[in-house]
Amino acid sequence: MTDRLPPLPHDIEHATQGEAVPGESPFANSAPLAGDTGDWPTSAGVPGTGYRLIHVDASIIVADKASGLLSMPGRGPEKHDSFSVRLQREFSDALMVHRLDMNTSGLLVVGRGAEMHSRLSRFFRERRVDKEYVALVDGCPEPGSGEICLPLAADRDNRPRHRVDLAHGKPSTTRYWRVDYDSVADISRMALRPLTGRSHQLRVHMQSLGHPILGDALYASPAAQAKAPRLCLHATRLAFIHPEHGGWVEFHCPAPF
């Protein structure tokens, strides 16, 4: 193990640690690089939902989304099934605030009702939400930590890909730390902290370093895709001001790889 993430720029000594609703974790017996099926039970035991509940109160819901499940409906009936649609069957007042790529797993926070949704949305716009991801990447990035500041734009000729665009891209910043390196497999475990929220930001930024995320069908080489059965990107931590009581809260969810 090498670099560790620095502490948050907040007093988190008394932060609330998110705990799963009682029940068996779908990660309990995961083998390294195990792919998600998209058919997890929730912690309450409801089959086939593709998520598990991490925290529920009157204002917010925090859930762990499976890889392979859309965050929100896309265009066309074949893309209607999604985390938000499934969650609203259980919580009719659940309103989406942000999203993860379909093949990215991990933490999502959802507002309950219009007022909580509005407050959380403002926190995301103002970049007052601290997000951290775990990724497995091809090779060994050097230096082992740093900041990537490369503007990103949609690749209009190769949708849904995005690309670095120095002339017209939107400012995009990612901090990264190499947490561990397996020299036999030539794979690094990375901690990634996006300071902006562009589409495919972490995936394009890691590709720009020459170390694409394993299993990435859009940005990795065939060899790097073949090293994992899924996109090895997981939203492992969310920290933000609770929209109701104003305290700083923090939720964690380990990666299944």
In whole angstroms, what is the distance from residue 200 CA to residue 172 CA? Answer: 11
- CATH for the stretch 16-128: 3.30.2350.10
Using CA atoms, how far apart are residues 233 and 104, in angstroms rounded to an integer? 5
Q: Would 16-128 and 133-226 be classified into the same CATH topology?
A: yes
Q: Give CATH for domain 133-226.
A: 3.30.2350.10
Q: What is the pLDDT of residue 8?
A: 36
Single-letter residue type at 139: G
* Sites in the chain below the pLDDT cut of 70: 1-48
Instruction: Give the SS3 label for residue 201.
Output: helix
pLDDT given for residue 48 in this prediction: 66
Domain ranges of the chain: 16-128, 133-226
Residue 133 CB contacts under 8 Å (≥ 6 apart), including other chains: 104, 106, 191, 192, 193, 194, 202, 233, 234, 235, 236
pLDDT of residue 191: 99
Q: Spot the catalytic one: 36, 64, 101, 216.
A: 101
For position 12, what pLDDT does the model report?
25
Which pLDDT does position 78 carry in this prediction?
Answer: 82
- pTM for the model stands at 0.83
Nearest-angstrom CA–CA distance, 238 and 249: 8
- Phi then psi for residue 201, to 5 deg, are -55, -50
- Three-state DSSP state, 168: coil
Among this protein's residues, is 101 annotated catalytic? Answer: yes
Tell me, what's the pLDDT at 19? 38
Both tokens assigned to 187: 């794979």
Tell me if 128 sits within 8 A of 241, measured CB to CB: yes
Angstrom distances, CA of residue 90 to CA of 56, 73, 86, 174 = 12, 17, 7, 35
Amino acid letter, residue 146: G
Identify the three-state secondary structure at position 26.
Answer: coil
